[in-house]
Structure 1
Amino acid sequence: MSGFLFTTRLAADASNGNARLGWFTTPHGAVETPAFMPVGTHASVRGLAMHELRDAGANMVLANAYHLYLRPGDEMVRALGGVHAFARWDGPMLTDSGGYQVFSLSRYRTVTEDGVEFRSKLDGARHHYTPERVMQIERNIGADVIMQLDELIAGGSSYDASRSAMERSLRWLERCRVEFDRLSRDGRAPVRALTVPAGAPPLATDDIARDIVAPPQALFPIVQGGTWADLRRASIDGILQAGDWVGVAVGGLSVGEAKSAMYETFEVCSPLLPADKPRYLMGVGFPDDLLEAVARGMDLFDCVAPTRMGRHGTVFTPDGKTQIQKSSNRTDRRPLTESCPCPACTQYDRAYLRHLMVTEEPLGPRLLALHNLTFLLELMRETRDALRDGRFGSWSAEWLARYRHGR
């Protein structure tokens, strides 16, 4: 796993709480934390180009192994040079194993100790998803950071159900670790031969000796246990006993539980997680939740909600969320946000953005999705500046008060 290093420091000002400034180095570059990762489910953030993400301030992007396994296939991604070359993104990347998709598509799957049997929504074909198979898929895709297969259940689930899922996630983690290490040692299995059009460049898999060598990657375990403090502690204890990890993820939140319970779970987990490892909070991406999580010691974040909301006309502003289609925006020549550097704010006004949305012009959803991403990336940049200057506590309190007052 050469190429991975995390350096962090708690801010000197005690009023900053557990918030921390860090630097996470990967084979494809460094990420300064706290950081938000745009979600490119199919190796693409819907409607946006990778250069737009880079211009907006993104340094690390997430893709989803489950979806890439279904289309175009993990072996196809590997043959086309791996996910970085495939997506035209030369920075750090992370792939989620698909645990959330298994959770959200409950009608189509059956969970057993061996893994997950599910039926594809694309063509109805049956698939068998095991910890070993997930490691093979993610190592084919080739992101810098890959996630274990875990069992995610709904927020508010019973203690017994939460314990069962947490314990199964630990058992699956061990199977992931063994297969991850085997692939690092023995290499990836050769893929079937693929033909290319006449005159097209050769595929990466054509050079078998070079291709079977697994790329340097870091496997992150996932803390589970619902909102039950003792289960979260047991999950972390099991994870730390299972190996020396490059980083640790906290999952199973923002799935229906109360926000207060989510924040309390951060407070339970943070003191138990290694201080010298990045902490990835999965699936959380609303502005106030990010600042609350940073204050409680979290480092990396992702969520599809900002772009999805933007495509439907809901945008983030310093004064809370607003719906651009509101009639009051018909004659409003102000930008969405004065200080935002995105194209929606610097080149257009609210009246025109509303017009694009109500007339269903494709430019509208694109601009608003890019705005929401830029807003969160700028928020994380301002967070890092505040941590660096030792004023995170006071700055965050003021920012949250304005944002929540305007909602």
Structure 2
Amino acid sequence: AQIQARLGSDVAMCLDICPPAGVSTAELEQAVRRTTLWARRQRASARSEGQLVFGITQGADHPELRRRSIQEITALDFDGYALGGLSVGESRPRMLETVAWAAPLLPAGKPRYFMGIGDPEGILTSIERGIDLFDCVLPTRTARTGSALTWSGRLNLRNARFTRDPDPLEEDCGCPACVRFSRAYIRHLVTQEEILGLRLLSLHNLWFVLDLTARARAAIERGTFTAFRRDALARLAHVPEEEP
């Protein structure tokens, strides 16, 4: 709490214990109990001016413990709330099923934050289930493998078919990579292990995710999110490319 206050971050997150998938109920209960104790301490700690503090709920996909954690953390009246302890090794259907029943238990008038999901399909599905905020290393980690997120699916720039491709990573994308450079040039940077290639892909992937969420927000405001999600998932569906 003191470090985050000194840093002056816009949002400070409470310290929590995030067990991996498959731990015993006893270990899960201990994580919930200690997470609540730490949240109470941080709630009473000083924060920097204008800083928001979010509480983190734990409990994995255990219905009783997740509900208990949500009840205890929301009782502390934080500025927002996170679903922690998911996307840590459990199956994707199980994860999304838990989000579907757990997210509505968080206060509707405050931000709901899903910690650890960042793929386009997962973001859209989580929004449908009531989630507002996300964080994940996926955009930059995908870039470090030499791949770009696009509305046609992922592009593996290491593939030989991009060697002389003059097109940008994504048509009509306004990111620095697409405005100035071709797929062929970025592929050259990646295959020659030039750090600029990974930086350009990181910028593009972050731009893509921000654009995706901006479009989702606009669709929500228009009352057309269900149709937007359906059409977006259809566009994003693709067959993974073979490695070169």
The Cα of 1:223 is off from its aligned counterpart by 0.9
Paired residue for 1:362, among 195, 198, 202?
195
Amino acid at match of 1:340: C
SS at match of 1:332: coil
1:224 is matched with 58
2:87 is matched with 254
2:38 is matched with 172
SS at match of 1:405: coil
**Structure 2: distance between partners of 1:240 and 1:309:** 34
Number of aligned residues: 240
1:240 is matched with 74
**Contact 1:247-1:278 at 8 Å conserved across structures:** yes
**Structure 1: distance between partners of 2:4 and 2:176:** 34
**Structure 2: distance between partners of 1:370 and 1:155:** 32
1:1-400, aligned counterparts within 5 Å? Answer: 135-178=1-44, 180=45, 183=46, 214-241=48-75, 243-400=76-233
The Cα of 1:336 is off from its aligned counterpart by 1.5
Q: Which runs of 5+ in 1 are unaligned?
A: 1-134, 185-213
**Structure 2: distance between partners of 1:333 and 1:141:** 43
The Cα of 1:351 is off from its aligned counterpart by 1.2
Deviations 1:241-295 (A, max 9, x none): 2x22211111112221111111111112122111110111112111111101100
The Cα of 1:339 is off from its aligned counterpart by 2.7
**Structure 1: distance between partners of 2:233 and 2:27:** 35
CA RMSD of aligned residues (A): 1.5
**Structure 1: distance between partners of 2:211 and 2:33:** 38
What is the percentage of aligned positions where both structures have the same residue?
A: 44
**Contact 1:156-1:226 at 8 Å conserved across structures:** no
Deviations 1:106-138 (A, max 9, x none): xxxxxxxxxxxxxxxxxxxxxxxxxxxxx1111
Which deviates further from its counterpart, 334-343 or 362-371?
334-343
Amino acid at match of 2:127: V
Deviations 1:172-213 (A, max 9, x none): 2112222x1xx36xxxxxxxxxxxxxxxxxxxxxxxxxxxxx
1:99 is matched with none
The Cα of 1:406 is off from its aligned counterpart by 4.1
SS at match of 1:221: strand
**Structure 2: distance between partners of 1:315 and 1:229:** 37
SS at match of 1:322: strand
Name which structure has the greater RCO, CA cutoff 8 Å, separation 6+: 1
Amino acid at match of 1:219: V
**Contact 1:325-1:354 at 8 Å conserved across structures:** yes
Deviations 1:138-178 (A, max 9, x none): 11111121011100111232333222211211122112222
1:56 is matched with none
**Contact 1:232-1:268 at 8 Å conserved across structures:** no
The structure with the greater share of residues assigned to strand is 1
**Contact 2:74-2:81 at 8 Å conserved across structures:** no
**Contact 2:167-2:183 at 8 Å conserved across structures:** yes
**Contact 1:282-1:303 at 8 Å conserved across structures:** yes
TM-score, normalised on structure 1?
Answer: 0.57
**Structure 2: distance between partners of 1:358 and 1:267:** 41
The Cα of 1:331 is off from its aligned counterpart by 2.3
**Structure 2: distance between partners of 1:405 and 1:362:** 28
**Contact 2:17-2:35 at 8 Å conserved across structures:** yes
**Structure 2: distance between partners of 1:406 and 1:319:** 10
**Structure 1: distance between partners of 2:165 and 2:205:** 19
The Cα of 1:350 is off from its aligned counterpart by 1.3
SS at match of 2:237: helix
The Cα of 1:345 is off from its aligned counterpart by 1.8
Amino acid at match of 2:49: P
